[in-house]
């Protein structure tokens, strides 16, 4: 991909003016490129640049194909002259047959080369855009609809195919063939060319009025496709809830409405395209009739002979193809420009800097320390602050639990450590170094993170487990399966580790998903392990076993947990009590019960209510 859309946020350490700046002064989550978007044709040329040799070859083949066609009227004129002079026409007939065959063969080859190149352009754009989207900042994803982003990769890039062949090459070859045909017509008879040009220019004016409509309609059609993707993603992502809520019909209406809007706009674009195409066709018919009348009169007055008129009429006939090619080039370009605009919109979303993946720390890496120093943060300018000066220190090794009412900002602590978001002010120090001064891959390689919902990805269990540690050996895998008590599950499944878990792991129970997520994080042997309510769905036996595992992990690495279970909290070396975006107390369970009324209340109500019967309570 070229530099478009990868401007500011794409370049670590560079400001909007291109000046170097420290990594921790990176912009928060502002759009990456505020600069004027380059015109669609330049973007298209950028996509096509790697394939220019094939494009030129395909274009040349098309031109040679056109040239064989152009030679035909001249041979036809010769044939007619030979007939009128009672001379042999065998040579002319053989030449015409050869030209027709060459025309067909070269046309097919040129068509194949161009289609192949167009597919390569689509592939290049899809690769670039998907790589780009995978580097999106979480804040960009928060503000987007994944279904719409997906449509930009799947549907919008598809439009690049026809715009490459029809516009990029069509304009070149069609334009050249058009000019060559007009030159040949001029050679045959200038007054007849003048008549033809008059009609063609008239058609050009009409088509010029039509094309902006095609652009607008295509853009709206593609937006509706994006909307449909977003609606479908919303429904399929929560189909059980939708069904349980009896909301299928309402959701169906929304998806259908988007599909119909896309249909309406596509039909509108088709209407304008058809009008443009037929204007060109009509112009040619008119030119044909005018040339026939005017040319017939010239034949009658003896200004030209019949052979010349026939040859000219054949050129009028041959003019049709390049003219329609040029019209198609212009109309397809409008549709392509609309798609390119949407692709560029996605490419202007803020992304993380591109870095090579980092190696995992390894079994002997030292545990990390963590410090929050007066951290203030809000998710977006228009939202209230979530952290109002959060501060705490976590030494290497041991378990630190974060407790507090819902919405206190506990998960946000983890998100900031992972640099999913940047704080507005204050510092977050991992091993004494500001996380903004870490390269993101190195930072994340040091951390194992189990999200609140313990997401499991579609695919096999093995793929899920190795997601964060693709090079983990069978021994490490077996060990982690044992400690997370997944061995029984694997043993029960007919295909063991290669069993497919379904979309978002729906074939697993909630507790199994949590254990898979914990196993995945442990396999990375992190220097800092973040567990966000990672054991909330486990049964008493599994929770107790996992607690032992986490305690053992905490003896060699640093573990942070967000927990609502007393059993987890009391086992922690220190507890950070958060409330409304502030740390209100830090201490051990017994200290806090005595010293902090909120904690005492949580312990008395929330923890005890959530604690399982075998909990340490
Ligand atoms: N991506 C987001 N965009 C905007 N606001 C968010 C986002 N994530 C969380 N918030 C808001 O930030 C606040 C703190 O959320 P956070 O998830 O950190 O709370 P929490 O203490 O972990 O809560 P819980 O115990 O319920 O998980 C909440 O008010 C929430 O609505």
User: pLDDT of 54-84, one tens digit each?
Assistant: 888 888 888 788 778 778 878 888 888 888 8
Atom of ligand 1 nearest to the CA of 138: 1
In this prediction, residue 407 carries a pLDDT of: 92
DSSP E strand boundaries for 293-439: 370-377, 387-394, 398-403, 425-430, 433-434
pLDDT (tens digit per residue) in 447-495: 999 998 777 888 899 999 999 888 888 999 999 998 888 888 888 888 8
In this prediction, residue 607 carries a pLDDT of: 61
Residue 412 CA to ligand 1 center (angstroms) comes to 6
Going by C-beta distance under 8 Å and a sequence separation of 6 or more, which residues neighbour residue 156?
Answer: 222, 225, 339, 340, 342, 343
- 332, two tokens: 């397809």
Q: Which residue's CA is the nearest one to ligand 1's atom 25?
A: 406
Q: pLDDT averaged over the chain?
A: 83
pLDDT (tens digit per residue) in 252-290: 888 888 888 888 888 888 888 888 878 878 888 888 898
pLDDT (tens digit per residue) in 594-605: 999 999 988 887
Residue 380 CA to ligand 1 center (angstroms) comes to 12
Residue 121 CA to ligand 1 center (angstroms) comes to 42
Residue 413 CA to ligand 1 center (angstroms) comes to 10
Structural domains in the chain, sorted by start: 38-347 (1.20.1560.10), 367-446+526-612 (3.40.50.300), 456-525 (3.40.50.300)
Q: Which residue's CA is the nearest one to ligand 1's atom 26?
A: 406
In angstroms, the CA 433 to CA 218 distance is: 50
Q: What's the sign of the alpha-carbon dihedral 197, 202, 203, 209?
A: positive
Residue 411 CA to ligand 1 center (angstroms) comes to 7
- DSSP-assigned letter for residue 304: S
For ligand 1, mutation pick of 143, 379, 407, 423 (most atoms within 8 Å of CB) = 407
For ligand 1, mutation pick of 143, 377, 379, 449 (most atoms within 8 Å of CB) = 379
Going by C-beta distance under 8 Å and a sequence separation of 6 or more, which residues neighbour residue 159?
Answer: 218, 222, 335, 336, 338, 339
* pLDDT (average), residues 580-599: 92
Atom of ligand 1 nearest to the CA of 421: 1
In this prediction, residue 530 carries a pLDDT of: 95
Residue 1 reports pLDDT greater than 50:
no
Task: Indicate the burial class of 34 (C-beta count within 10 angstroms; 0-12, 13-18, 19 or more).
Answer: exposed
Q: Which residue's CA is the nearest one to ligand 1's atom 16?
A: 409
**Ligand 1, pocket residues at CB < 6 Å:** 142, 379, 383, 386, 404, 406-412
Residue 377 reports pLDDT greater than 50:
yes
DSSP E strand boundaries for 437-533: 447-450, 528-532
Residue 475 CA to ligand 1 center (angstroms) comes to 38
For ligand 1, mutation pick of 376, 384, 386, 402 (most atoms within 8 Å of CB) = 386
Q: Which residue's CA is the nearest one to ligand 1's atom 27?
A: 406
Residue 407 CA to ligand 1 center (angstroms) comes to 5
Residue 140 CA to ligand 1 center (angstroms) comes to 17
Choose between 285 and 4: higher pLDDT.
Answer: 285
Residue 55 CA to ligand 1 center (angstroms) comes to 52
The answer to whether the CB of 491 falls within 8 A of the CB of 453 is: no
Q: Which residue's CA is the nearest one to ligand 1's atom 17?
A: 411
Q: Rg for the chain (alpha carbons), in Å?
A: 34
Q: Which residue's CA is the nearest one to ligand 1's atom 1?
A: 142
Residue 610 CA to ligand 1 center (angstroms) comes to 20
In this prediction, residue 606 carries a pLDDT of: 67
């Amino acid at each position: 991909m070229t530099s478009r859309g990868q401007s500011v946020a794409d370049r670590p350490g560079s400001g909007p003016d291109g000046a170097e700046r420290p990594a921790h002064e990176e912009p928060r989550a502002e759009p990456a490129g505020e600069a004027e978007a380059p015109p669609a044709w330049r973007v298209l040329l950028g996509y096509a640049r790697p394939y220019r040799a094939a494009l030129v070859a395909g274009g040349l083949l098309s031109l040679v194909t056109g040239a064989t066609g152009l030679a035909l009227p001249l041979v036809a004129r010769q044939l007619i002259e030979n007939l009128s002079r009672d001379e042999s026409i065998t040579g002319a007939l053989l030449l015409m047959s050869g030209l027709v065959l060459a025309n067909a063969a070269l046309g097919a080859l040129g068509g194949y080369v161009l289609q192949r190149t167009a597919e390569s352009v689509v592939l290049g754009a899809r690769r670039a855009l998907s790589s780009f989207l995978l580097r999106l900042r979480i804040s960009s994803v928060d503000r987007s609809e994944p279904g719409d982003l997906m449509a930009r990769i799947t549907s919008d890039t598809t439009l690049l195919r026809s715009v490459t062949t029809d516009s990029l090459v069509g304009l070149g070859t069609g334009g050249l063939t058009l000019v060559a045909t007009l030159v040949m017509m001029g050679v045959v008879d200038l007054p007849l060319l003048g008549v033809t040009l008059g009609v063609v220019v008239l058609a050009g004016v009409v088509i010029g009025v039509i094309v902006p409509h095609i652009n607008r309609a295509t853009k709206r059609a593609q937006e509706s496709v994006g909307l449909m993707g977003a609606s479908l993603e919303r429904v399929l992502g929560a189909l059980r809830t939708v069904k349980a809520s009896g909301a299928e019909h309402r959701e169906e209406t929304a998806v259908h409405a988007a599909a119909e809007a896309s249909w309406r706009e596509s039909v509108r674009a088709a209407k304008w395209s058809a009008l443009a195409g037929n204007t060109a066709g009509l112009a040619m018919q008119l030119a044909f009739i005018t040339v026939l009348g005017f040319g017939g009169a010239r034949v009658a007055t003896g200004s030209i002979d019949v052979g010349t008129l026939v040859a000219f009429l054949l050129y009028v006939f041959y003019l049709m193809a390049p003219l329609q090619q040029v019209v198609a080039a212009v109309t397809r370009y409008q549709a392509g420009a609309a798609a390119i605009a949407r692709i560029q919109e996605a490419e202007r979303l803020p992304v993380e800097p591109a870095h090579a993946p980092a190696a995992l720390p390894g079994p002997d890496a030292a545990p990390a320390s963590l410090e929050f120093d007066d951290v203030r943060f809000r998710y977006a300018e228009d939202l209230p602050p979530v952290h109002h000066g959060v501060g705490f220190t976590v030494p290497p090794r041991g378990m630190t639990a974060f407790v507090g009412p819902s919405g206190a900002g506990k998960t946000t602590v983890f998100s900031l450590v992972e640099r999913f978001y940047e704080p507005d002010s204050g510092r977050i120090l991992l091993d004494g170094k500001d996380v903004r001064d870490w390269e993101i891959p190195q930072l994340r390689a040091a951390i194992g993170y189990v999200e609140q919902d313990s997401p499991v990805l579609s695919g096999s269990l093995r793929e899920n487990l190795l997601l964060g540690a693709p090079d983990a050996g069978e021994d490490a895998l077996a060990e982690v399966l044992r400690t997370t008590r997944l061995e029984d599950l694997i043993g029960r499944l007919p295909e063991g580790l290669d069993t497919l878990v379904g979309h978002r792991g729906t074939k697993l129970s909630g507790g199994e998903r949590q254990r898979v997520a914990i196993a995945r994080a442990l396999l990375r042997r992190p220097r800092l392990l973040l567990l966000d309510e990672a054991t909330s769905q486990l049964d008493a036996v599994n929770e107790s076993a996992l607690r032992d595992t986490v305690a053992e992990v905490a003896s060699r690495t640093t573990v942070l947990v967000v927990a609502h279970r007393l059993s987890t909290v009391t086992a922690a070396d220190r507890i950070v009590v958060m409330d409304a975006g502030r740390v209100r107390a830090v201490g051990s369970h017994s200290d806090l019960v005595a010293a902090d009324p909120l904690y005492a209340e949580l312990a008395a109500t929330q923890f005890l209510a959530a604690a399982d019967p075998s909990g340490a309570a």
